[in-house]
Amino acid sequence: HIIIPRGFGIQQIKVDALQKILTSRLTNYFQRLIKNFSIIAKPLTIFLGKN
């Protein structure tokens, strides 16, 4: 977190790094454990995709 005049915020570079880590590692782990994971994850994949 960073402190700004209006309160506090989150550094975007850290958010981006976490998204990359969480997306790749957790997805790979859970896809083996959850039946039809690709069907469940498709909306999230579309949402997180690049424009």
Give the model confidence (pLDDT) of 1-51 as tens digits: 677 788 888 888 888 887 777 666 777 788 888 899 889 888 887 887 765
Yes or no: say if 31 and 37 are a contact pair by the CB < 8 Å rule. yes
Taking the C-alpha atoms of residue 5 and residue 23, their distance in angstroms, rounded to an integer, is 32
Quick one: pLDDT at residue 21? 74
**Does residue 23 sit in helix, strand or coil?**
helix
